[in-house]
């Protein structure tokens, strides 16, 4: 399934991408409302990361809306870790330590 829109946005988190010249830009994670999966049972929860690479809309699928939300959080965490590595480790969230994006992740990069 290819999504053209996030639908109703239910949450947003902003990060700073800080490069060596002290310039910063905003990177945003947008999470859409979980919806019934149109191609079968279950729910999907869309998300988009803007300002750090591809801005394609991706999604996680769960048995119900709660599981779709849980899985999308892990998927976002893994995607942020991967993109941060590609960018050279320049993403920061709310003054937290390097690599702490506030999303769960089981990725070992």
Could you report the per-residue pLDDT of 31-70, keeping only the tens digit for each?
999 999 888 899 999 999 998 888 999 999 999 999 999 9
What single string gives the DSSP state of each residue in 31-78? EEPPEE-TTSSSEEEEEEEESSS----EEEEESSHHHHHHHHHHHHHH
Could you report the per-residue pLDDT of 95-106, keeping only the tens digit for each?
666 667 888 876
Residue 9 has pLDDT above 50, yes or no: yes
């Amino acid at each position: 399934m290819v999504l053209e829109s996030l639908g109703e946005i239910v949450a947003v988190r902003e990060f700073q991408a800080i490069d060596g010249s002290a310039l910063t830009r905003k990177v945003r994670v947008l999470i859409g409302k979980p919806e019934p999966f149109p191609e079968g049972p279950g729910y999907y929860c869309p998300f988009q990361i803007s300002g750090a690479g591809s801005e394609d809309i991706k999604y996680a699928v769960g048995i119900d809306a709660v599981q779709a939300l849980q899985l999308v959080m892990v998927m976002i965490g893994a995607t942020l870790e991967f993109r941060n590595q590609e960018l050279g480790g320049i993403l920061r969230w709310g003054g937290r330590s390097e690599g702490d994006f506030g999303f769960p992740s089981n990725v070992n990069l």
